[in-house]
């Protein structure tokens, strides 16, 4: 990573503006249901505290669209961090302003402050120089540990480092190091596994991976667009009609480059995506006209498992079926276990649904890396420049 590391930034006795991504899922009852993103930043925060820094946390929660939304205040997030950190976290009621300036001025080395939800300010999404300067004025240096937000050109992500010495925190540094390895020096065979609903979300990713991988395994709803492009009848399964030509072009490009596109050979079908609804497995040549494909079948699981067992680099994004319905999660679970069982490979997963399945199965420690990012994970693998990373000072 050609960006300055927190290790190479003088943070001793400094006020440090630390951008984190604590956009965590919260239940209807108001409980944080997954604190992974908070936990992953603890090494960076502890390092700063060990160096007698004042830590000023900047994050967002949800999509308040520039307005104050009471349910999206950060009090419960600050409480969770305080519990995990084992020390008080002072949550402020504003992002900028006299009360914030005063609180920061009176903070002592080792204090942790959390600003209010930065997306309560409309200028967060506009790249406002005025807001960037106001945030920068609170601190001596800036550290970015918010990989999941690195693809956003938001003010607190890409704007603030224009006005302060900046560096990457341990989480951001690790995320980039792993993905850099995947994209530039992956051991072969290199297998990518892509699922989820839409081909349109991953066109650029697939095209970029065609030049780097030995095989791309495609499941989930997006597989049916490819199957239809190949001439199969897919019933009422999800198909992006506008992308049939693109799917066909990808298949032809894969042949020309010698990269195998591996699609399902059997699928689970049902008449309605509903818990408890009757379902059965059919070969892809036999999908009934009045049925919907909702998961990969056992022969496909076997084929995908074989591909992963021989791989030395594996990246995975997206479920193989409709995982909101328990009956249609078997393909995704089987794939997660197959990837986790390959102890020789660099196994990397990303995306919220993918990470949730891995967590639910207790396989976190069996993957070499589970990214905290969704969009940032995909855009990095697509070969795009991420504004949050580009804004950080280069290594000396």
Regarding whether 183 and 136 lie in a shared domain, the answer is no
Same-domain pairing of 357 and 240:
yes
- Evaluate whether residue 32 is within a structural domain: yes
pLDDT at 30: 86
Nearest CA to 263 out of 248, 275, 273, 277 is that of: 248
Rounded CA separation 386/164 (Å): 19
For residue 40, give every residue at least 6 positions away whose Cβ sits within 8 Å of its Cβ, in sequence order, or none: 171, 372
Q: Is residue 395 one of the residues assigned to a domain?
A: no
Q: Among the three residues 140, 169, 198, which one is the final residue of a domain in this structure?
A: 169
Catalytic residues, which ones? 37, 198, 352, 375
What pLDDT was estimated at residue 28?
Answer: 86
- Its domain, for residue 185, covers 177-382
Task: Check: CB of residue 119 under 8 Å from CB of residue 62.
Answer: yes
Q: Is residue 392 part of a domain?
A: no
User: Do 103 and 187 lie in a common domain?
Assistant: no
Instruction: Select from 131, 147, 169 the last residue of a domain.
Output: 169
Shared domain for 163 and 279, answered yes or no, is no
Please check whether residues 344 and 313 belong to one and the same domain: yes
Same domain, 13 and 157: yes
Integer Cα distance of 392 and 141 in angstroms? 11
Strands 313-317 and 15-19: unpaired
Residues 255 and 370 in one domain: yes
Q: What is the pLDDT of residue 53?
A: 98
Say if residue 215 is in the same domain as residue 296: yes
CATH of the domain at 303: 3.40.50.1260
What value does the CA radius of gyration of the chain take, rounded to a whole number of Å?
A: 23
Q: What is the per-residue pLDDT for 96? A: 97
Q: Which of 42, 273, 336 is nearest to 174 (CA)?
A: 42
Write a three-state SS string for the chain: CCECEHHHCCCCCCEEEEECCCCCCECCCCCECCCHHHHCCHHHHHHHHHCCCEEEEECCCCCCCCCCCHHHCCHHHHHHHHHHHCCCCEECCCCCCHHHHHHHHCCCCCCEEECCCHHHCHHHHCCCHHHHHHHHCCCCEEEECCHHHCCCCCHHHHHHHHCCCEEECHHHHHHHHHHHHHHHCCCCCEEEEECCCCCHHHHHHHHHHCCCCCEEEECCCHHHHHHHHCCCCCCCCCCCHHHHHHHHHHHHHHHHHCCEEECCCEEEEECCCCCCCCEEEEEHHHCCCCCEEEEECHHHHHHHHHHHHHCCEEEEECCCCCCCCHHHCHHHHHHHHHHHHCCCCEEEECCHHHHHHHHHCCCHHHCCEECCCCHHHHHHHHCCCCHHHHCCCECC
In a domain, 231, yes or no: yes
Asked if residue 185 and residue 122 are part of one domain, the reply reads no
Examine the domain organization and report whether 24 and 145 are in the same domain: yes
- Tell whether 1 is covered by a domain: no
Q: Tokens at residue 159, please? A: 């704007």
Residues lower than pLDDT 50 in the chain: none
Residues 127 and 66 in one domain: yes
Same domain, 199 and 346: yes
Last residue of a domain, one of 135, 169, 203: 169
User: What are the b/e assignments for 98-117, b being 16+ CB within 10 Å?
Assistant: eebeebbeebeeebbbbbbb
């Amino acid at each position: 990573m050609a960006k300055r590391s927190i290790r190479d930034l003088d943070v001793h006795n400094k006020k440090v503006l630390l951008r984190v991504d604590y956009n965590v899922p919260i239940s209807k009852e108001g409980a944080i249901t997954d604190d992974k993103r908070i936990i992953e930043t603890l090494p960076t925060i502890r390092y700063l505290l060990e160096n007698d820094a004042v830590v000023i946390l900047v994050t967002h929660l949800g999509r308040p669209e520039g307005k104050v939304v009471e349910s999206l205040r950060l009090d419960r997030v600050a409480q969770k961090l305080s519990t995990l950190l084992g020390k008080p976290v002072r949550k402020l009621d504003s992002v900028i302003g006299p009360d914030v300036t005063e609180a920061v001025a009176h903070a002592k080395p080792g204090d942790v402050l959390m600003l209010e939800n930065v997306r309560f300010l409309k200028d967060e999404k506009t790249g406002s120089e005025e807001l960037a300067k106001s945030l920068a004025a609170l601190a001596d240096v800036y550290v970015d540990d918010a990989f999941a937000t690195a693809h956003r050109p938001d003010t607190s992500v890409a704007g603030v480092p224009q006005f302060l010495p900046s560096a990457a925190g341990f989480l951001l540094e690790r995320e980039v190091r792993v993905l850099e390895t995947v994209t530039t020096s992956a051991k072969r065979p290199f297998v990518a596994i892509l699922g989820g609903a839409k081909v349109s979300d991953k066109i650029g990713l697939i095209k970029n991976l065609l030049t780097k991988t030995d095989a791309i395994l495609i499941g989930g709803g997006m597989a049916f667009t490819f199957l239809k492009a190949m001439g199969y009848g897919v019933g009422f399964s999800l198909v992006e009609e506008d992308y049939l030509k693109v799917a066909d072009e990808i298949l032809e490009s894969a042949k020309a480059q010698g990269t195998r596109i591996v699609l399902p050979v059997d699928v689970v079908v049902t008449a309605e995506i509903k818990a408890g609804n009757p379902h059965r497995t059919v070969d892809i040549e036999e999908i009934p006209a009045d049925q919907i494909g909702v998961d990969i079948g056992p022969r496909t699981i076997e084929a995908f498992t074989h591909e992963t067992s021989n791989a030395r680099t594996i990246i995975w994004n997206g479920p193989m079926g409709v995982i909101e319905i328990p009956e249609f999660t078997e393909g995704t679970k089987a794939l997660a276990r197959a990837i986790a069982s390959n102890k020789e490979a660099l196994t990397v997963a990303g995306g919220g649904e993918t990470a949730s399945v891995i967590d639910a199965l207790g396989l976190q420690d069996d993957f070499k890396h589970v990214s905290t990012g969704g969009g940032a994970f995909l855009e990095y693998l697509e070969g795009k420049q991420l504004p949050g990373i580009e804004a950080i000072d280069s290594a000396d």
